[in-house]
Amino acid sequence: MRIRYAALLAAVFMLFLFSGAASAQENSAPNPIGDLPWQVGPTIGKIGTRATVDVPEGYAFLDVDGTRRLNQLLENPPDGNDTYTLAPHDLSWIGFFSFREMGYVKDDEKVNADDVLESVREGTEHGNEERRQRGWETMRILGWSFKPQYDDQLKALEWAILAETETSKNKIVNYNTRVLGRRGVMEVILVADPETLQPAIADFKRLMPGYSFAAGEKYSEFRAGDHVAEVGLAALITGGAAVVASKKGWLAAAGAVLVKMWKLLLIGLFGAAAAVRGLFKRKQKDTTVR
């Protein structure tokens, strides 16, 4: 079955066009997105034992099981890691958090954006073989939407690559952050419509001060004798870290990782925001009653 991708902005726009019908269905019609076990803010989202993130009012969090079900609904392939979700109630963006235990990544490497992009193109082309086998649309890398930038104070690498599906020509962009820790890297992928990426990033960054590694997991808490990763910053973008742990060739290993690193959104989920918004309303009513 061929997957159809669409911009989340259009989905939300359709929601408001049909807000009357959606509102009437909020409490009566089942919605797979709204039925997920959202933890509504204000609360603390626990990302395993590695980290926590503040979930303020107006946002919601999904644990591993909830995120697994969400990715099944969106037809995103499993990546083998425990993944958690943070999103605003209008679903204008969705953030996925997962920790990859690879050791302490030294941050003294200079990232050559042109070389990295070419590696991503090669890996994506190889990853298209798996997409064809699954009956999915293949992808083409268009270029940087945001070139790699490393924040030495936050110990975080960020970038965004613009791609498109080769048949339907839908544009796809994921904003990536890799937060370095003592024993590995917290991988964060922000999914939004390309045309609304910048406000989505701004909203997401406003929440990031509420993210924190657990005690003993911070990059600054590295101690002599800790495992040091065999890769540097560039490999966090290209999927090259998988080569170290794989007996496959570089393209096969990187291609498999890059297929799973992309998070996509399906058309036809415009009722999801209404369902999640209804969840917030119910939470507010429960709080008022108490």
| Alpha carbons 100 and 131: distance in angstroms, whole number | 23
pLDDT on residue 35? 85
| Alpha carbons 29 and 286: distance in angstroms, whole number | 21
Q: Hey, what amino acid is at 208?
A: M
- The token pair that represents 208 in the structure block: 């990031």
pLDDT on residue 1? 37
Residues of the chain with pLDDT under 70: 1-30, 75, 240-290
Using alpha carbons, select from 70, 99, 126 the residue that is nearest to residue 258.
Answer: 126
pLDDT on residue 11? 38
| Alpha carbons 143 and 118: distance in angstroms, whole number | 9
Residue 174, beta-bridge partner list: 161, 191
Contacts of 100 (CB under 8 A, 6+ apart): 81, 184, 185, 187, 241
pLDDT on residue 156? 97
Q: Hey, what amino acid is at 184?
A: G
- The token pair that represents 224 in the structure block: 């002599």
pLDDT on residue 65? 96
User: What is the model's pTM?
Assistant: 0.80
178 with 187: CB under 8 angstroms? Answer: yes
The angle at the Cα of 151, spanning 147 to 155, to the nearest 5 degrees, equals 125
**Sole residue written with tokens 């992928």:** 189
pLDDT on residue 241? 55
Q: What is the pLDDT of residues 85-113, one digit of tens each?
A: 999 988 889 999 999 999 999 999 999 99
162 with 171: CB under 8 angstroms? Answer: yes
Q: What is the pLDDT of residues 48-87, one digit of tens each?
A: 999 999 999 999 999 999 999 998 887 677 777 899 999 9
Q: Hey, what amino acid is at 276?
A: V
Contacts of 215 (CB under 8 A, 6+ apart): none
Please provide the average confidence, as pLDDT, over all residues in the chain. 79
CA torsion sign for 107, 205, 91, 277 is positive
